[in-house]
Each structure stands twice: as structure tokens, then as C-alpha cells.
Amino acid sequence: MTQSAIPSPKKGRQLIDEYFIETRHRVIEIAAYLDRLDRSGDPATTSDFRSGALREALAVLCDGSYPRVDRIQMIFSDPTTEPRAELDQKAAKGAFDPEQEKG
């Protein structure tokens, strides 16, 4: 459902006028990042769990279904429900790594 509790004062074309340039910039940054990985020639850049999550997320951008951001957030999220037995590291990595969770 695409309804809002508070409608945006800016409507369709106005939103594009306001936000297109900065959004275009972000898409080009993503393309440049992926090209950078390709130039490295390292197949690990493709198999890395973060790259896999990013590919899934990019597919959501183009599937035309709302809401994209909620679904992309869940792609990057730990889907398990049990607490970890002990602390593995202080910082999160940005995407769920199923291999690490298998131990």
C-alpha cells in the first residue's frame, strides 16, 4: 500500500524535479563501485556475501513493487531468531553472512 499518513506537499513531477539529480548521482556511484570490483579481477568480489546481498537489492529496485526500501532492508538483515551464543565481533558488517552463522 502506497498511502501516507501525511501526504507529501510535493507531488509526482515536483518530486522528480527536486530529487532526480541527487538520485542519479547515487545510481552512477553504484555503477562505478561495481565496475571498480570488476577491474580488480578478483572472483571473490562476486562470491562475497555482501555482493550477493547487493545484487538481490538491486533487483528489487527494478521490480516495480512498493515498498522497495523495506524489502531491501530485509535482504541485508539477519533472518534468524535465536540469540548468538557469544559475542563474535563488536561491529556489524552491513549484510547477513550465512556461512559465518553456520560456524
Partner 1 sequence: MEYIDMHAHMVSRTTDDYHQMALTGCVAVTEPAFWAGFDRGSADAFEDYFRQLTEFEPNRAAQHGIRHYTWLCLNPKEGENRELAKEVIERIPKFLDRPTVLGIGEIGVNRVTRNEIATFHDHVQLAIEHNQLIHIHTPHLEDKYKGTRLIVDALLQYPEIDPQRVMVDHAEEHTIEMILENGFWTGLTLYPQTKVTAERAIDLLERYGLDRICAASACDWGHSVPTAVPELILALRRRGHTNELIRRVVYENPIGFLGQSPKFDLLPRSAPGRSARSSEAPVEVGV
Which residues lie near partner 1 (CB under 8 A)? 4-10, 18-19, 67, 69-70, 73-74, 76-81, 83-96
Taking the complex as a whole, the smallest distance from the CB of residue 56 to partner 1 amounts, in Å, to: 13
- Other Cβ atoms less than 10 A from the Cβ of 32: the count is 9
Nearest CB to partner 1, comparing residues 36 and 93: 93
Q: How many angstroms separate the Cα of 43 from the Cα of each of 13, 37, 46, 47, 55?
A: 42, 9, 6, 7, 15
Taking the complex as a whole, the smallest distance from the CB of residue 92 to partner 1 amounts, in Å, to: 4
